[in-house]
């Protein structure tokens, strides 16, 4: 991650430093948000591979190279719901390292194609066991050939949340001029929420940090974990959240459609869930409140999904 736009350099120099967007149509007075309450969204879908996971994948790869866990001749291997895999695939291609990704077989066809186009090996895992099954398969492969792979293990690697502590949280603080009062974001590995919230609380312990989860186990919110029914990531720390909220998939899908039509933002369903939760919170807040959330990934990764038209769910 660099300190600003550069001439030349590699695509990896353009990870991070994403814009913070003020939402006006969605999250304005028409949505019941009081005058003087602002809703902002961090445009993580504008990272080079199209998601917030560029930050974590780069952070974990650089930490692996620093510690010696990753070295030329090794292959990057991890389990993901898609976005981290695409980020590794981009990073591996840019640095000249091969990448293998364990991915539930029901991940969207767009994701698998992008991975393969980057030259990545894709291992399909049991769709019913989600990313928990993908992790199991990754661990099995690493146990078989430990010297062959660099296994960042994003669910248990502190370099995941550290990328957001060192960058995302700092950027949000600076982009709001220290005015942020609430941070709300969904949990996948939990790296985005934990790292950003820890940093914001370091700046000002009064900033309320709210974690969001899908409202049920089989939810269709790709990338998000329903903690009560999933294997809880090792990096997750429930004590970081001042409050926990849930969002349903229909609300998230409706909001993703609204963001495309009313804000010009083609983003995925977890971004829809984040903005839905941010607007619902903003309605309850006093003037002067500044709510920040995350646009996790690009909507172009979900073009084959039926919900965009609004009439098929």
- 190 lines the binding site for ligand PMP (CB under 6 A): yes
Using CB under 6 A, which of 186, 214, 272, 299 touches ligand PMP? 186
53 to 92, contacts with ligand PMP by CB under 6 A? 53, 81, 83
Catalytic, 53? Answer: yes
Task: Output the CA torsion sign for 99, 103, 105, 107.
Answer: negative
- 8 Å CB contact between 232 and 206: no
Which of 81, 249, 270, 289 is catalytic? The answer is 270
Among 48, 50, 169, 223, binds ligand PMP (CB under 6 A): 223
195-219 in b/e burial notation, b at 16+ Cβ within 10 A?
Answer: bbbbbbbeeeeebbbbbbbbbeeeb
Binding segment (CB under 6 A) for ligand PMP, from list 13-21, 59-67, 86-94, 191-199: 191-199
DSSP 70-123: S-TT-EEEEE-SSHHHHHHHHHHHHHT--EEEEEETTS-HHHHHHHHHTT-EEE
- Binding flag, residue 297, ligand PMP (CB under 6 A): yes
CA 107 – CA 104 distance, rounded (Å): 6
Q: Name residues contacting ligand PMP, limited to 93-132 (CB under 6 A).
A: none
From candidates 187, 197, 241, 252, binder to ligand PMP by CB under 6 A: 187
Give the residue, chosen from 85, 104, 268, 272, that forms a contact with ligand PMP under the rule CB under 6 A: 268
C-alpha count within 13 angstroms, C-beta hemisphere, residue 231: 12
From edge to edge, which strands make up the β-sheet containing 290-294? 20-23, 38-42, 290-294, 182-186, 208-214, 243-247
Q: Site size for ligand PMP, by CB under 6 A?
A: 19
Q: What 3-state class would DSSP assign to 131?
A: helix
Give least dist CB 268 to ligand PMP, A.
5
- The catalytic residue among 42, 49, 53, 81 is 53
> Is residue 270 annotated as a catalytic residue, yes or no?
yes
Q: Which of 16, 92, 152, 191 binds ligand PMP (CB under 6 A)?
A: 191
Binding span for ligand PMP by CB under 6 A among 140-148, 180-188, 206-214, 242-250: 180-188
Q: In whole angstroms, how close is the CB of 80 to ligand PMP at the nearest point? A: 7
Starting at the edge strand found earlier in the chain, the sheet holding 149-150 runs 121-125, 99-104, 75-79, 149-150
Q: Which stretch binds ligand PMP (CB under 6 A): 85-93, 207-215, 220-228, 258-266?
A: 220-228
Asked if residue 246 lies in contact with residue 230, where contact means CB atoms within 8 angstroms, the answer is: no
* 270 near ligand PMP, judged by CB under 6 A: yes
- Asked if residue 55 lies in contact with residue 167, where contact means CB atoms within 8 angstroms, the answer is yes
Least separation in angstroms between residue 15's CB and ligand PMP is 14
So which residues are the catalytic ones? 53, 270
Binding site for ligand PMP (CB under 6 A): 52-53, 81, 83, 186-193, 222-224, 268, 270, 296-297
């Amino acid at each position: 991650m660099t300190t600003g736009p550069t001439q030349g350099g590699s695509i990896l120099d353009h990870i991070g430093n994403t814009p913070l967007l003020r939402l006006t149509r969605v999250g304005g007075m028409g949505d019941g948000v009081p005058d003087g309450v602002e809703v902002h969204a961090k445009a993580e879908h504008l990272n080079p591979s199209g998601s917030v996971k560029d930050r974590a994948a780069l952070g974990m790869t650089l930490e692996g190279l620093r510690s010696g866990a990753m070295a030329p001749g090794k292959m990057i291997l991890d389990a993901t719901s898609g976005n981290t895999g695409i980020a590794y695939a981009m990073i591996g291609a840019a640095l000249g390292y091969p990448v293998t990704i364990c991915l539930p077989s029901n991940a969207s066809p767009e994701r698998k194609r992008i991975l393969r186009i980057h030259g990545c090996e894709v291992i399909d895992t049991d769709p019913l066991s989600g990313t928990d099954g993908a992790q199991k398969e990754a661990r099995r492969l690493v146990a078989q050939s430990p010297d062959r792979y660099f296994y960042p293990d994003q669910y248990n690697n502190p370099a995941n949340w550290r990328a957001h502590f060192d960058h995302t949280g700092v950027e949000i603080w600076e982009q709001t001029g220290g005015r942020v009062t609430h941070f709300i974001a969904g949990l996948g590995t939990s790296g985005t929420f934990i790292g950003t919230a820890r940093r914001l609380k370091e700046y000002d312990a009064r900033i309320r940090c709210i974690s969001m989860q899908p409202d049920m186990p089989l939810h269709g919110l790709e990338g998000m974990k329903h903690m009560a029914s999933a294997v809880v990531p090792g990096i997750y720390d429930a004590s970081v959240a001042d409050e926990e909220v849930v969002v349903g998939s229909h609300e998230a899908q409706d909001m993703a459609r609204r963001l495309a039509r009313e804000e010009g933002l083609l983003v995925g369903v977890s971004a829809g869930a984040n903005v839905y939760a941010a607007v619902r919170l903003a309605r309850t807040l006093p003037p002067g409140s500044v709510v920040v959330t995350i646009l996790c990934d690009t909507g172009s990764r979900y073009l084959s999904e039926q919900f965009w038209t609004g009439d098929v769910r």
